[in-house]
């Protein structure tokens, strides 16, 4: 007789910070079927057994020693790995504290992550070509044999929620079919994840929402001779090791559009908070993953729309409205928002609706939006990301290889050059390939080659979010810190130190002759990186400038500006065009601020400092008429446009702006 036990497996390697949503949905649907769902989180076991274990690091190094003796590891690489192993052995960090209050201490977390990276390096070398990473694959026969001996399942379902789990699921399925051939092996994947045929699965279910769940339950019903109606079922996270996940407070993944209505969703969320101690939620959304779907729209039969059949009739923020009205104010959450391949009218309306809802969502506890870039031709919705950032919401972008793929260079450049808009990002990771050393690249920024400021002296360390790495960890930190506060943190992983960008900033105002050696060279590079001026006269103009202002921290220039004497030809041309004489004026220009510092007020403080030190000179600046963003900044800094002229050199209208207190009443100027 076929066993009634259904083994629900979450394979490596996804986030070790929370359980599988898809497995919880299946468990809930099976509760009244007469079958016995059992959960095995192989992903969590992998991290607990192989990464957060100094004992396992010893086993990794023993394998490396064997490879070294057989000539598979060079002497040079072996010496480096031996040093890494020594770091792991000598550390005094208690890895278990990742579940405690120490998690929220950035100093502690940097040390913790250095050890984790060291163990990842050892594991990657020991088991090459399997590259161990926070999001790539590995599987173990020992754990599967244990679960089979304990439960003797009649059916196994592997739930794949990220691309990094696919190969592990295929490996595990192949092992199960070879060792336990009578067992039915199914795969239930997140939409968009492609499986290879003939990899040990008896069947693969690709549907989403109620459609996918119904397909899965139909297969189980036929095989076990039961009746499973998933309609109206409630996800069941019981039996999942909530106290073992790598986080100090329980977080649950929830797909709001799975529930038939907002009241049902609210009841579920309220129960999780009040009776299970859940502190926050990661709200999932696949409603934009199917731009060509013919699923039902607003005019469809309401019964077909229950729990997410076809296209959804509302957005997740609409489904959450009722919960917002009753939720505990301390409960925080993130949202996953897929970016559509194309932006037809309906999708644009949806994204515009999201932008309009941002203030309410933020006040209701939204800390982070994870923008899923699922198609190569997608265009980042810059306007909405900027609106979210200004609201105080953290933007995290995940997507294809936008750094290495030449076809994605425009999108990639926007992502890496606007940390005040895209606060963090992650590329899809393909398992396998060359051995990666995680211990030595802790201060290397992904996408560095696309950065406009990659030729200036680099800032110390890397953004702290790069150390956190996991969006669930971002969410937890954002429950304690503001977006701006978290964005200012940088981690020097090799030295295990924390840097708060802007906390030790110093401002200098000097004549060119008083500049220390190397400062002028670096300012020229900063101006070049800014990319908005003709470089032909930059150095000579700076050498003859009236005053140069710059902000420094830890020996690195964060931003600069200057008051320079305009060239006689320019003064004459403006006089001819506008009948306004700029003789004895100085021009504020060559302003350049590192992207990481654009929320620190560096530009405004430089303007203020230069203006105070202008002496008897009046100050003007040139801003193109189409640069509306700079217009807003100028007005905010109490400067006003006094004249407009057409520049034949750049082929567009330019404006001359001045500090308001320097403008004379008798001048005949633009209103």
CA distance readout (Å), 462 to 175, 403, 446, 483: 41, 17, 10, 17
Residue 76 shares a structural domain with residue 216: yes
Comparing 401-410, 572-581, 648-657, the range with the smallest average pLDDT is: 401-410
What are the beta bridge partners of residue 370? 336, 396
As a whole number, the mean pLDDT across the chain is 85
244 in any annotated domain:
no
Q: What percentage of the chain carries pLDDT values higher than 90? A: 53
Q: Judge whether residue 290 has pLDDT over 50.
A: no
What tens digit of pLDDT does each residue of 119-133 get?
888 888 887 755 555
Q: Are residues 544 and 600 in the same domain?
A: yes
What is the mean predicted confidence (pLDDT) over 183-190?
Answer: 91
| Residue 532 pLDDT class (50, 70, 90 cuts) | confident
Note whether residue 511 is domain-resident: yes
35 and 76, same domain (yes or no): yes
Same domain, 214 and 333: no
pLDDT attached to residue 20: 93
**Within this chain, do residues 103 and 187 fall inside the same structural domain, yes or no?**
yes
pLDDT band at 196 (very low <50, low <70, confident <90, very high): low
Confidence (pLDDT) at 406: 58
Total number of domains in the chain: 3
Identify the pLDDT of residue 539: 94
Would 437 be classed as within a structural domain?
no
Does the residue 471 lie in any domain? yes
Paired strand residues for 185: 156
Among 5-19, 128-142, 457-471, 488-502, the least confident range: 128-142
Domain termination residue (choose one: 470, 500, 530): 500
Residue 376 pLDDT > 70: no
Which pTM was predicted?
A: 0.87
Residue 292 lies in a domain: no
Least confident range of 33-47, 189-203, 499-513: 189-203
Q: What strands lie across the sheet with 184-189, from one edge to the other?
A: 36-40, 5-9, 155-160, 184-189, 203-205
Looking at the fold, whether 452 and 573 belong to one and the same domain comes out as no
Answer yes or no: is 293 within a domain.
no
Looking at residue 156, its pLDDT comes to 97
What are the tokens at 397? 């972008």
Q: In the structure, what pLDDT confidence band is assigned to residue 370 with cuts at 50, 70 and 90? A: very high
Helix 382-391 and helix 345-363: axis angle, to 10°? Answer: 10
Residue 616's CB is within 10 A of a number of other CB atoms, namely 5
Residues 217 and 101 in one domain: yes
Give residue 606's pLDDT band: very low, low, confident or very high (50, 70, 90): very high
Within this chain, do residues 489 and 547 fall inside the same structural domain, yes or no?
Answer: no
Residues 6+ apart with CB under 8 A from 166: 137, 160, 189, 193, 194, 195
With beta carbons less than 8 A apart as the criterion, state whether 190 and 161 touch: yes
Identify whether residues 491 and 530 lie together within a single domain: no
Question: What does the H/E/C string look like for 263-314?
Answer: HHHHHHHHHHHHHHCCCEEEECCCCCCCCCCCCCCCCCCHHHHCCCCCCCCC
- Residue at which a domain ends, from 500, 525, 541: 500
Residue 294 falls within a domain, yes or no? no
pLDDT, average across residues 16-25? 93
Judged by phi (left if over 0) then psi (alpha if -120 to 50, else beta), residue 510 lies in beta
| CATH code (residue 602) | 3.40.630.30
> Are 14 and 128 in the same domain?
yes
Tell me, yes or no, whether 299 lies in a domain: no
- What pLDDT, on the 0 to 100 scale, is given for residue 55? 83
Parent domain of 38: 1-235
Range among 138-152, 401-415, 460-474 with highest mean pLDDT value: 460-474
Whole-number Å distance between alpha carbons of 256 and 281: 10
**Do both 551 and 605 map to the same domain?**
yes
Q: Which residue has the higher pLDDT, 348 or 504?
A: 504
pLDDT per residue as tens digits for the range 380-434:
888 899 999 999 999 999 877 776 665 667 888 888 899 999 999 987 654 433 3
Reported as a single tens digit per residue, the pLDDT across 301-318 is 333 333 433 445 578 888
> Which residue, chain included where needed, has tokens 């506890």?
365
Same domain, yes or no: 516 and 402: no
């Amino acid at each position: 007789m076929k066993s009634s036990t259904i083994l629900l497996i979450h394979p490596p390697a996804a986030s070790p910070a929370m359980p599988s949503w898809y497995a919880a949905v299946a468990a809930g649907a099976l509760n009244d079927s007469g079958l016995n769902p059992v959960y095995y989180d192989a992903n969590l076991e992998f991290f607990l057994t192989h990464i957060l274990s100094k004992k396992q690091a010893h086993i990794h190094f023993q394998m490396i020693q064997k490879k070294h003796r057989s000539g598979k590891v060079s002497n040079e690489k072996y010496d480096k790995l031996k040093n890494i192993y020594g770091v792991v052995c000598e550390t005094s960090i208690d890895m278990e504290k990742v579940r405690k209050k120490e998690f929220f201490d950035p100093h502690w977390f940097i040390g913790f992550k250095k050890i984790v990276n060291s163990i990842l390096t050892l594991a990657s070398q020991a088991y090459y070509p399997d590259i161990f990473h926070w999001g790539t694959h590995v599987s173990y026969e020992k754990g599967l044999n244990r679960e089979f001996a304990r439960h003797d399942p009649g059916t196994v379902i592997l739930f794949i929620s990220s691309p990094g789990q696919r190969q592990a699921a295929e490996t595990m399925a192949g092992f199960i079919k070879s060792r336990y051939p009578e067992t039915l092996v199914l795969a239930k994947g997140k939409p968009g994840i492609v499986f290879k045929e003939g990899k040990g699965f008896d069947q693969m279910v690709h549907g989403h929402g109620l459609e996918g769940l119904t397909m899965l339950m139909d297969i189980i019903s036929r095989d076990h001779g039961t009746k499973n109606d998933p309609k109206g079922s409630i996800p069941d996270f019981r039996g999942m090791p909530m106290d073992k996940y790598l986080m100090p407070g329980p977080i649950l993944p929830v797909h709001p559009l799975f529930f038939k209505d907002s009241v049902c969703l609210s009841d579920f969320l309220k129960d999780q908070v009040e009776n299970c101690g859940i502190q926050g939620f990661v709200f999932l959304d696949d409603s934009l993953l199917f731009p060509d779907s013919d699923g039902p729209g607003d005019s469809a039969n309401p019964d077909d729309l229950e729990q997410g059949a076809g296209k959804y009739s509302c957005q997740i923020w609409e489904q959450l409205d009722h919960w917002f009205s009753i939720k505990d104010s301390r409960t925080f959450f993130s949202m996953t928002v897929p970016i559509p391949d194309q932006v037809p009218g309906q999708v644009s309306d949806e994204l515009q609706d999201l932008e309009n809802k941002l203030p309410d969502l933020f006040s209701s506890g939204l800390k982070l939006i994870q923008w899923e870039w699922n198609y190569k031709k997608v265009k980042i919705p810059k306007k909405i990301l900027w609106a979210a950032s200004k609201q105080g919401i953290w933007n995290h972008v995940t997507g294809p290889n936008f750094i290495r793929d030449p076809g994605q260079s425009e999108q990639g450049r926007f992502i890496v050059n606007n940390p005040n808009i895209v606060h963090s990002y992650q590329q899809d990771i393909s398992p396998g390939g060359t051995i990666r050393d995680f211990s030595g690249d802790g201060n290397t920024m992904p996408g560095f080659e696309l950065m406009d400021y990659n030729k200036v002296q680099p800032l110390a360390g890397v953004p702290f979010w790069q150390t956190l790495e996991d969006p669930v960890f971002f969410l937890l930190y954002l429950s304690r810190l503001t977006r701006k506060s978290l964005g200012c943190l940088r981690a020097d992983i090799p030295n295990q130190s924390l840097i708060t960008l802007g906390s030790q900033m110093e401002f200098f105002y000097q004549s060119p002759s008083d500049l220390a050696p190397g400062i002028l060279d670096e300012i020229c590079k900063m101006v070049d990186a800014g990319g908005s001026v003709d470089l032909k006269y930059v150095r000579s103009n700076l050498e003859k400038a009236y005053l140069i202002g710059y902000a420094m921290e830890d020996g690195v220039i964060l931003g600069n500006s200057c008051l320079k004497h305009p060239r006689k030809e320019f003064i004459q041309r403006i006089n001819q065009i506008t009948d306004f004489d700029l003789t004895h004026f100085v021009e504020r220009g060559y302003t350049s601020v590192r992207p990481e510092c654009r929320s620190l007020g560096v530009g405004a403080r430089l303007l203020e400092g230069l203006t105070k030190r202008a002496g008897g000179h009046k100050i003007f600046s040139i801003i193109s008429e189409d640069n509306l963003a700079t217009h807003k900044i100028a007005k905010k800094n109490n400067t006003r446009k006094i004249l407009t002229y057409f520049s034949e050199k750049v082929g567009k209208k330019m404006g001359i702006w001045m500090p308001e207190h320097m403008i004379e009443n008798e001048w005949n100027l633009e209103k």
